Amino acid sequence: MQADDLLHALHTRRILAIVRGDDPAAALDTVLALFASGIDVVEVSLTTTDALAVLARARAVLGPSAALGAGTLVTAADVRAAARAGAAFAVTPGVTRAVAEARALGMPVLAGAVTPTEVALALTEGATAVKLFPASLGGPGLLRALRDPFPTTPFVPVGGIDAESARAFLAAGALAVGVGGPLIGTAAHTGGDTRLPARIAAFRALAQETPCPTS
């Protein structure tokens, strides 16, 4: 996956689904259900039990073109392991060694940042987009403030994003929003979650309400 491919996918879908859980089989089922239902930009967090195996199995089912990435990448070793497992893009919680390693491997990367200094550093390190994290710290007001000095930077707020705040962040100019628990629920945990299809439908409808920013 090239950087432009990831940006286009985020621009089109507006939702980055974040899967984390304690049951590898349930996590795999969740990833596949998301793709099958039209939320097809998905991050599997390395905090998921057997996350690399989940990535590899999902990649085998979904094929090489699926926008399937790995998140919570902190070290260069994390990035290399995720790439071997089939991750097409990298997501980091901050500007760590993982950002430079992802760029060295040719992987698009969403680098975590929350201050102007961190945003500037993420861009200097070659981030494809900035993961505004934790987005709940400053809310949509922080995003609007950051877009003044960084008007062309693609921002993807992550952290504490529910349906209400997702709508507000998208209206404030986010390229997309990263959503974990409020979308996934307990689907990736033992026992699953029968309400996942309804939440997928709700978030897909929400994402279509707000036109994507052009700058």
Which sequence positions are flagged as catalytic? 43, 131
CB burial readout 38-65, b (16+ within 10 A) else e: ebbbbbbbbebbebbebbebbbeebeee
Looking at residue 206, the DSSP 8-state letter turns out to be: H
Q: What share of the chain is helix, strand, coil (3-state, %, to 5)?
A: 45, 15, 40
Alpha-carbon gap, residue 29 to 119, rounded angstroms: 34
Q: At what angle do helices 196-207 and 24-36 cross, to 10 degrees?
A: 40
Q: Are the C-beta atoms of 79 and 105 separated by less than 8 Å? A: yes
Alpha-carbon gap, residue 168 to 84, rounded angstroms: 36
DSSP string, 110-163: EEEE-SHHHHHHHHHTT-SEEEETTGGGTHHHHHHHHHTT-TT--EEEBSS--H
Tokens 């998905």 found at:
42
Alpha-carbon gap, residue 17 to 183, rounded angstroms: 7
User: 19 - beta bridge partners?
Assistant: 44
